[in-house]
Amino acid sequence: LALFMRDKPLTELGSLSSYQMSDSAVRIEAHPNRFLFTNPGQMLINKEDFFTGGLSRPRNELLMSFFRNIGAAERQGYGGCQILESALKRDYKTPEITTSLSRTSLTVWTEGLIGLDPDLTESEKTVLYILQKESEKQAHPFSYLLEKTGLSEYYLRKSLKTLSDKNYLERIGKGRGMTYRLK
């Protein structure tokens, strides 16, 4: 996957159909806005190490060595890091991992936060885009968002209320001192 993601956007990887060998085998599902990779068994490293890279515990060291020797695998332990970097570079939603004793699933989104909700208006998308680009966890006052978005006060207030109601934004403070940031 990391090899594909370096060279092409995920939307150019081909047909959006599912491929499944059996319930206990590797499964890849392609959806319009994400790819879902499912492997049997629990991850052998923790989620944080997967995305930071450098630590690898292959289930089959001999097989991994074979792929490395024929040039079909790169450095061990950096696939998750490459997946995360590719997603962030394209402003996609952060990949998600779930793991249990029976299976591990990795969701790689092919859209950003803005594209995942088809009910967002253009004004709401503009506000989200500005907040994403201006540091996700930083809070911004109404006046700053008014200047950056180019929206009228009416549409900005309406968009901020809707985005807060939909749980996209967090409102901090009250009155003129109120600021907004992504949740």
Domain count for the chain, please give it: 2
Note whether 151 and 67 are same-domain residues: no
Note whether 84 and 22 are same-domain residues: yes
Note whether 87 and 163 are same-domain residues: no
Instruction: Please state the rounded mean pLDDT for residues 28-37.
Output: 85
Identify the domain boundary among 82, 109, 136.
Answer: 109
pLDDT single digits (tens) 147-172: 988 999 999 999 999 999 988 888 99
pLDDT at 3 over 50: no
Range of the domain at 99: 2-109
pLDDT at 141 over 80: yes
Spatial contact of 168 and 182, defined as CB atoms under 8 Å apart? yes
Note whether 91 and 127 are same-domain residues: no
Note whether 81 and 121 are same-domain residues: no
pLDDT at 37 over 50: yes
pLDDT of residue 17: 38
Spatial contact of 131 and 144, defined as CB atoms under 8 Å apart? no
Alpha carbon separation from 5 to 10, 34, 56, 106, 109 (Å, rounded): 6, 13, 20, 15, 12
pLDDT of residue 5: 45
Instruction: Kindly state the helix (H) or strand (E) to which residue 169 belongs, with its residue range.
Output: strand 169-172
pLDDT of residue 67: 83
Note whether 94 and 126 are same-domain residues: no
pLDDT at 33 over 90: no
Identify the domain boundary among 109, 136, 155.
Answer: 109
Percent of the chain with pLDDT over 70: 80
Note whether 96 and 71 are same-domain residues: yes
Note whether 101 and 174 are same-domain residues: no
Name residue, tokens 């490395």: 68
* Nearest one of 81, 80, 63 to 72, comparing CA atoms: 63
Note whether 77 and 156 are same-domain residues: no
Geometric angle at alpha carbon 111, from 107 and 115, rounded to 5°: 130
Identify the domain boundary among 84, 109, 134.
Answer: 109
CATH of residue 170: 1.10.10.10
Extract the tokens encoding 94: 């952060």
Instruction: Please state the rounded mean pLDDT for residues 10-38.
Output: 64
Task: Identify each DSSP E strand in 21-164 by its residue range.
Answer: 27-31, 34-40, 96-99, 103-109, 140-141
Positive/negative CA dihedral, 6, 94, 91, 19: positive
pLDDT of residue 142: 93
Alpha carbon separation from 108 to 56, 64, 142, 150 (Å, rounded): 20, 23, 33, 32
Higher-confidence position of 117 and 12: 117
pLDDT of residue 4: 43
CATH of residue 59: 3.30.565.60
